[in-house]
Amino acid sequence: MSIYDTVHERSLTEAEGFWADAAADIDWQKSWDQVLDDSNAPFYRWFSGGQLNTCYNALDRHVEGGRADQVALIYDSPVTDSKRSLTFRELRDETALFAGALAANGIGKGDRVIVYMPMVPETLIAILACARIGAVHSVVFGGFAANELATRIDDAKPKAIVSASCGIEPARIVSYKPLLDQAIELASHKPDKCIILQRPQETAELLPGRDIDWDDAISRASPHDCVTVDATDPLYILYTSGTTGEPKGIVRDNGGHAVALHWTMKNIYDVEPGEVYWAASDVGWIVGHSYIVYAPLLHGNTTIIFEGKPVGTPDAGAFWRVVAEHKVACMFTAPTAIRAIKQQDPDGLLVKKYDLSSLRSFFLAGERCDPDTLHWIETKLGVPVIDHWWQTETGWAIASNCLGIERLPIKAGSASRPAPGWDVHVLDNDGHDVAPGTVGSIACRLPLPPGTLPGFWQANERYRQSYLTRYPGFYETGDAGYIDEDGYVFIMSRTDDIINVAGHRLSTGAIEEVLASHADVAECAVFGVADALKGQLPIGLLVLKAGVERDSAAIVADVIQMVRDTIGPVAAFKKAVVVARLPKTRSGKILRGTMRKIADNEAYRAPATIEDPIVLDEIRESMQGIGYAQET
């Protein structure tokens, strides 16, 4: 048996011993009573009875343990032309002070705090300050519109919101404060306080009594110590797209999360404490939570917060400049970023411009990595390029080449083999394992390892119904794919309406809800079509109400603007077309999958139950008008 096989097998057959060993690397205030508490299966809890503080483990213990003067955080911002470094001591002190400011404003253990911030050091400080006082943070990505923020405010019911006057996109300043004000207006729940970081690029007007300037808040605060919490207490809620417009509040606990994320740094990414680790993502996404904030700091690594883009800030060499300048040992990003770089620098001339000798490995996730992209970056960098698969729900990789355990051969198109702790199966409709190489629904046998979701925020029944019901004893991932003869996992598509646009997870159902709310729209369909840069892009088909005489182009422009205003620019919804009718089965099911195949020029067979096959020809013609279904 290979080393990987031995480790993986032990992680499943002796799960409690395996994770108890990993937990020894975390500082506990009180040891756990039980490693795995299965008394309420299928809801499992890890390290119940244990007590700790996640911020203490991420900052204070490194200060006390000899890393006080090591850089903990590098802020590199080509969009503002500024850079800043904070040592573990400085980051601890600034975090303790902001924690004091939160406490002085009435925030305590268990209270929720929404963080709606751009990629600046204060965002990490706010997140860690919440963890320090046992408050539950919920970060909302800056590219979402007010309505999405309002939905999250109503679900999380935060006592406070931490935000900034603005974010900076290469082409424009994003005024966060008006979006925040609008969201609070829309929401039924109102936060008591908003702490606003005023950025020099654009200052915001503050509402007396509710809004507090970040600088004022900390100037009056005194440092706050770490508050002991239960291992099973929530650390954060991160909302992610579900199959409707109602996002799912994924909960993360403190104990299992700290144990698992710390473990991944050596075992999956093969980095040593003290090295520089860079996840080029956004703190608004799970990759940012796990690998910009928590895992590197828990493990004593230097992390980077990069306020820029892979291209255009100023060029397609931005990533390589950062790697060279800060001596990054391990980097992580989404395939879409590499496709963007490759498009602008196909020969990799900008890669050659920098000394990348510090870089040992390069990880990709967030969407399927096509073999061309994988091979291109592999050749240009000359280091192992590892595609690994995970989800907001899981918090860390379900399948990965675990470089710190044993480097397995790389197979392009595969996320490698299941990570320790993960018992991955491919199931047919009846819940039976399929033969190697056969596509099916991918499900993981319960219990999931530590660091994964214990449930949804105050909606565990919804969690059970969405993930645990179809295959009893398993967590249904929502991904479809296969496992080959060598045990390699290939993720091919989703089994639901979720699409991945530039590594951002979106629900086509949520976009449809917006289109359907237009006064002239009778019905609609949204699905993801292939895109060379972003992987997938949503397109919309609209059927108008009888008697509507407005120009179709004006209605299309309306719905595009509505999606931007309701969901946000990140949805990248730019194409829609009016059609006479939608293809349906006789029972009324809209054939989105068939339309997607037509748009992408894939072979398809109209289902026998189709109401009227002629509609498919009409749809093809309409889609040609917006640049799809070009060949017959």
**Binding positions for ligand AMP, rule: CB under 6 A:** 240, 286, 365-368, 387-392, 415, 478-479, 491, 494, 500, 505
Residues in the interface with ligand COA (CB under 6 A) total 25
Structure tokens at 418: 């299941």
Torsion, Cα of 330, 336, 338, 343 (10° steps): -170
Q: How far is the CB of 285 from ligand AMP (least distance, A)?
A: 6
Positions 169 through 188 that interact with ligand COA (CB under 6 A) = 169, 174
Strands (E), 241-389: 248-253, 276-279, 302-306, 328-333, 361-364, 385-387
102 near ligand COA, rule: CB under 6 A? no
* Binding residue for ligand COA, selected from 295, 502, 506, 544, defined by CB under 6 A: 502
Q: Which does 449 bind (CB under 5 to 8 A by kind): ligand AMP, ligand COA, none?
A: none
Helical axes 146-156 vs 176-186, angle rounded to 10°: 50
Quick check: helix, strand or coil at residue 57?
A: helix
Q: Which does 236 bind (CB under 5 to 8 A by kind): ligand AMP, ligand COA, none?
A: none
48 versus 392: smaller Cβ distance to ligand AMP = 392
Angle, CA 156 vertex, CA 94 and CA 116 arms, to 5°: 45
Rounded Cα gap, residues 45 and 64, in angstroms: 30
173 versus 543: smaller Cβ distance to ligand COA = 173
Q: Which does 142 bind (CB under 5 to 8 A by kind): ligand COA, ligand AMP, none?
A: ligand COA
Residue 13 neighbours by CB under 8 Å, 6+ apart: none
Output DSSP code: residue 548. -
**Minimal CA–CA distance to 503: which of 613, 590, 391?**
391
Rounded Cα gap, residues 34 and 256, in angstroms: 12
Is residue 253 within 8 Å of 136, Cβ to Cβ? no
Positions 129 through 168 that interact with ligand COA (CB under 6 A) = 142-143, 167
Angle, CA 9 vertex, CA 8 and CA 11 arms, to 5°: 65
Rounded Cα gap, residues 487 and 433, in angstroms: 13
Q: Which does 414 bind (CB under 5 to 8 A by kind): ligand COA, ligand AMP, none?
A: none
78 versus 310: smaller Cβ distance to ligand COA = 310
53 near ligand COA, rule: CB under 6 A? no
| 302-306/276-279 β-pairing | parallel
**Minimal CA–CA distance to 124: which of 111, 137, 135?**
137
400 near ligand COA, rule: CB under 6 A? no
317 near ligand COA, rule: CB under 6 A? no
Rounded Cα gap, residues 246 and 198, in angstroms: 31
Q: Which does 388 bind (CB under 5 to 8 A by kind): ligand COA, ligand AMP, none?
A: ligand AMP
478 near ligand COA, rule: CB under 6 A? no
Residues forming beta bridges with residue 332, ordered by sequence position: 279, 363
310 near ligand COA, rule: CB under 6 A? yes
Structure tokens at 596: 């997607």
Rounded Cα gap, residues 398 and 200, in angstroms: 41
542 near ligand COA, rule: CB under 6 A? no
275 versus 393: smaller Cβ distance to ligand AMP = 393
* Binding residue for ligand COA, selected from 87, 95, 254, 281, defined by CB under 6 A: 281
Q: How far is the CB of 332 from ligand COA (least distance, A)?
A: 7
Q: Which does 37 bind (CB under 5 to 8 A by kind): ligand AMP, ligand COA, none?
A: none
Q: How far is the CB of 331 from ligand COA (least distance, A)?
A: 11
Q: How far is the CB of 369 from ligand COA (least distance, A)?
A: 11
Judged by the rule CB under 6 A, the positions of this chain that interact with ligand COA are 142-143, 167, 169, 174, 281-282, 285, 287, 309-311, 333-334, 336-337, 340, 365-366, 502-504, 569-570, 572
